[in-house]
Amino acid sequence: MDKFKPKGEKEIRQEVIEDLKGGDDNFNADEHKETIDRITQRRIKDENFKASLHSQKNKTKAELKNQLKAKEYYKQTAKPKRDKTETKDKEYLTKDDLANFSKEQQHRNKYSWMRDEEYELVKNESKRTGKGFKEVMESNPVIKGHFENVDIKKRQTIATGAPSNMVNQSHNDNELSEVEKQLDGNLPPGLI
């Protein structure tokens, strides 16, 4: 630490005389002795004040360094906080883990009509670009094109409907009869 050394009275008096003299060669210091003494005393007080400020600054720096050393020592010696409590065979989740999981699960439930692969694709693209989930679905041409070809309304009703509506046997029969019509009914036995 650099120590500030205040100027001495002789040095300050010499500076005051030079300042008052300016460029005047006929300046007589004895005539202006009172003024020089008054200005010198004021500047000595200023120098002492500067010295006290510098000592306080150095003292504060030393205290901060000691505090930082103490914090580092504490970090090294303190026991780490447990995020998860472990037992013999089981691991329990913390409240933070449950909160993060529930937020992610709520988001996944919002898009429950999407297949897992589609959801992960959009989620990863969202993280990569820094855009929102819905914004990626609307702005990315590949993803947008994929979802334009998918019957989203049908998927949404299946995903949010009652379990009895999830499988509609009459719908499956209609699809089979359309296939039979396309093949002109010339199907070998046992194919359907």
Of 77, 94, 129, the position where a domain reaches its end is 77
**Residue found by looking up tokens 């989203």 in the block:** 152
Q: How far apart are alpha carbons 55 and 59 in whole angstroms?
A: 6
Q: What percent of the chain has pLDDT over 90?
A: 2
**Residue found by looking up tokens 């200005």 in the block:** 39
Q: How far apart are alpha carbons 5 and 92 in whole angstroms?
A: 63
Closest residue by Cα to residue 133 from 142, 109, 124: 124
Of 77, 103, 122, the position where a domain reaches its end is 77
Range of the domain at 20: 9-77
Q: What is the pTM of this model?
A: 0.34
Q: For residue 94, is it within any domain?
A: no
- DSSP letter (8 states) at residue 14: H
Confidence of residue 74 (pLDDT cuts 50, 70, 90): confident
**What are 60's two structure tokens?**
């504060």
Do 173 and 122 belong together in one domain?
yes
Half-sphere exposure of 21 (CA within 13 A, CB side): 13
What sign does the CA torsion over 159, 160, 163, 165 have? Answer: negative
Q: For residue 23, is it within any domain?
A: yes
Domain count of the chain? 2
Q: For residue 93, is it within any domain?
A: no
Q: 26-41: per-residue pLDDT in tens?
A: 778 888 888 888 999 9
Higher-confidence residue of 70 and 42: namely 42
Do 120 and 61 belong together in one domain?
no
Q: For residue 100, is it within any domain?
A: no
Contact at 8 Å (CB) between 177 and 130?
no
Higher-confidence residue of 86 and 155: namely 155
C-alpha 123: how far from chain center: 19
| Least trusted range by pLDDT, from 26-40, 67-81, 125-139, 170-184 | 170-184
